[in-house]
Amino acid sequence: MEAFDYRDGELCAEDVPVRELAETYGTPLYVYSRGHILSQFHALKNVMAEVDPLICYAVKSNTNAAVISALAGEGAGADVVSGGELLRARRAGVPADRIVFAGVGKTEAEIEYALKEGILYFTVESEPELERISEVAQQTGTTGRIAIRVNPDVDPKTHKYTSTGKKENKFGVDLERAMAAYERAAELPGIEITSLHMHLGSPIMTSDPYAEALEKVAPLCRDLKTRFSTFRHIDIGGGLGIPYREEDTAFDLDAFAYAVIPPLKALGLTVSMEPGRYLTGNGGILVTRVEYVKDNPFKKFIVIDAAMNDLIRPALYEAYHAIRPVRDTRETVFGDLVGPICESGDFFAANRDLPAVGPGELLAVMSAGSYGFVMAGTYNSRPLAAEVMVSGNQHRLVRKRQDMEDIFRDEVIPDWN
Ligand SMILES: Cc1ncc(COP(=O)(O)O)c(C=O)c1O
């Protein structure tokens, strides 16, 4: 489902004009399409129906409670990476037995909380973590179900900061050492071996890395099945890509299913997946208003009221986001789209044809539903933006805009005397 499209020359979010949203809630404003997020979920669920995967939404991509609860309502689980995300997922209605917990640095308190909740399993990233889970499980009289995160050393062909399944990355346990890690797990009290996990990185635009990784881990899975009677499950991670550029083609779900279903069926394990971006990425935009158009002798700068504190992906990964005018115009100007922050990295588009808009007009930064608001901060004392969700012709505020009091509230000037 195309969530954001033009009707009568106006960009709409589902059936609601984006201009109306900007007038009601102000800018910068994150707008999410509930319909798009759910249709992505169902498309994935349907194409993978033969192995009926549990889809554990990677909450980190967009932690808004309205997003998590919409997906939970359709049967999604959650992939969390902190105690905070676990609490969010539970509060948004995700049953504990559909939650998986990844991350290289789980604290004792986080492990204790997850054990008490009874999560589906921990995605274990190292042997010391196995030992810690075992200790906490014994102290609390619980059992920790575990998957070892196996690093299959496959190149996902993405940005070096978002590649996670190569041998030089900090994540998981090398394929060669994985059986030894499982053997260690089997010796430890309070641990039940149930699963194997892999996640290669993101965004991945073809099914080849998944097929290659599955081929690499299949012999290990077969061994694990014969060695450990409780071993029953494989998690193939997330990372499925989305189109960011107008000319990008969508991730080919049919090709993905064709590549991964036969090897998964051959393994005879239950399956889960952890998509984030695929569900939420193109289900969100960042709406911003133009403040100034600045003509330097060498370049034109369109200065907007959103900044890198609202959406850091261009500064962090040189990520590309398409820019669309809210009132449709074919006219373009060449230049940079920049925010007001005192950093040259504060840009949304550089050296591009941009919509020819003037002060007061609205623009949409596309594909901002994942790793957008969740990575926002208050640098330059800029309050966090508001978030709105649209469903058909309805819209709801799903996070209020911060005000300056919210920013100052927890700060203390010491009384030294
Ligand atoms: C373990 C794990 N699973 C899933 C994801 C979600 O990735 P994506 O949003 O690209 O699907 C990530 C992303 O960092 C991850 O680290």
Q: For the chain, first and last CA: distance in Å?
A: 63
Do 185 and 302 have their domain in common?
A: no
Burial (CB count within 10 angstroms: exposed 0-12, middle 13-18, buried 19+), residue 94: buried
Do 151 and 71 have their domain in common?
A: yes
Do 15 and 158 have their domain in common?
A: no
Please answer whether residues 37 and 67 qualify as being in contact, where contact means their C-beta atoms are separated by less than 8 angstroms: yes
103 lines ligand 1 (CB under 6 A): no
Kindly report the protein residue whose alpha carbon is nearest to atom 10 of ligand 1: 239
204, part of any domain = yes
How many residues belong to the chain?
A: 417
Do 225 and 192 have their domain in common?
A: yes
Closest CA to 276 of 52, 122, 71: 71
pTM of the model: 0.95
Q: Which atom of ligand 1 is nearest to the CA of 280?
A: 9
Do 103 and 252 have their domain in common?
A: yes
| The domain boundary residue, chosen from 215, 250, 279 | 279
Please answer whether residues 387 and 32 qualify as being in contact, where contact means their C-beta atoms are separated by less than 8 angstroms: yes
246, part of any domain = yes
**Ligand 1: distance of its center to the CA of 370 in Å?**
11
Do 121 and 250 have their domain in common?
A: yes
Do 293 and 274 have their domain in common?
A: no
Looking at the structure of the chain, the number of domains it has is 2
| The domain boundary residue, chosen from 263, 279, 295 | 279
Q: Which atom of ligand 1 is nearest to the CA of 197?
A: 1
Which domain CATH number covers 17?
Answer: 2.40.37.10
277 lines ligand 1 (CB under 6 A): yes
**Ligand 1: distance of its center to the CA of 273 in Å?**
10
Torsion from C-alpha of 186, 190, 192, 195, nearest 10 degrees: -90
- 282 DSSP 8-state letter: G
Torsion from C-alpha of 357, 362, 366, 368, nearest 10 degrees: 140
Do 94 and 139 have their domain in common?
A: yes
| The domain boundary residue, chosen from 242, 259, 279 | 279
**Ligand 1: distance of its center to the CA of 379 in Å?**
26
203 lines ligand 1 (CB under 6 A): yes
d(CA 320, CA 314): 6
102 lines ligand 1 (CB under 6 A): yes
417, part of any domain = no
Which domain CATH number covers 271?
Answer: 3.20.20.10
Domain encompassing residue 27: 4-31+281-408
**Ligand 1: distance of its center to the CA of 416 in Å?**
46
Closest CA to 172 of 137, 129, 136, 208: 129
281 lines ligand 1 (CB under 6 A): no
416, part of any domain = no
Pocket test for ligand 1, best of 82, 129, 202, 205 (most atoms within 8 A of CB): 202
224, part of any domain = yes
Provide the pLDDT for residue 164. Answer: 57
35 lines ligand 1 (CB under 6 A): no
Pocket test for ligand 1, best of 57, 63, 79, 125 (most atoms within 8 A of CB): 79
Catalytic residues, by residue number, are 342
Do 179 and 56 have their domain in common?
A: yes
402, part of any domain = yes
Burial (CB count within 10 angstroms: exposed 0-12, middle 13-18, buried 19+), residue 377: exposed
**Ligand 1: distance of its center to the CA of 311 in Å?**
18
Do 270 and 226 have their domain in common?
A: yes
Please report, in tens digits, the pLDDT of each residue of the chain (417 residues total): 789 999 999 999 999 999 999 999 999 999 999 999 999 999 999 999 999 999 999 999 999 999 999 999 999 999 999 999 999 999 999 999 999 999 999 999 999 999 999 999 999 999 999 999 999 999 999 999 999 999 998 876 665 655 555 565 667 899 999 999 999 999 999 999 999 999 998 899 999 999 999 999 999 999 999 999 999 999 999 999 999 998 999 999 999 999 999 999 999 999 999 999 999 999 999 999 999 999 988 899 999 999 999 999 999 989 999 999 999 998 999 999 999 999 989 999 999 999 999 999 999 999 999 999 999 999 999 999 999 999 999 999 999 999 999 999 999 999 997
278 lines ligand 1 (CB under 6 A): yes
**Ligand 1: distance of its center to the CA of 202 in Å?**
7
Q: Which helix (H) or strand (E) holds 20?
A: helix 18-25
Which residues, 6 or more positions from 229, have their beta carbon under 8 angstroms from its beta carbon?
A: none
Do 251 and 120 have their domain in common?
A: yes
236 lines ligand 1 (CB under 6 A): no
Provide the pLDDT for residue 156. Answer: 65
DSSP states of 165-205:
SSTTSSSSEEHHHHHHHHHHHHHSTTEEEEEEE---BS-B-
415, part of any domain = no
Q: Which atom of ligand 1 is nearest to the CA of 277?
A: 9
77, part of any domain = yes
Kindly report the protein residue whose alpha carbon is nearest to atom 12 of ligand 1: 238
Provide the pLDDT for residue 367. Answer: 98
**Ligand 1: distance of its center to the CA of 375 in Å?**
14
Q: Which atom of ligand 1 is nearest to the CA of 278?
A: 11
Do 182 and 324 have their domain in common?
A: no
Cα separations (Å) of 191 from 140, 172, 201, 225? 13, 18, 27, 16
195 lines ligand 1 (CB under 6 A): no
Provide the pLDDT for residue 234. Answer: 98
Provide the pLDDT for residue 160. Answer: 60
**Ligand 1: distance of its center to the CA of 22 in Å?**
31
158 lines ligand 1 (CB under 6 A): no
Provide the pLDDT for residue 310. Answer: 98
172 lines ligand 1 (CB under 6 A): no
Please answer whether residues 241 and 209 qualify as being in contact, where contact means their C-beta atoms are separated by less than 8 angstroms: no
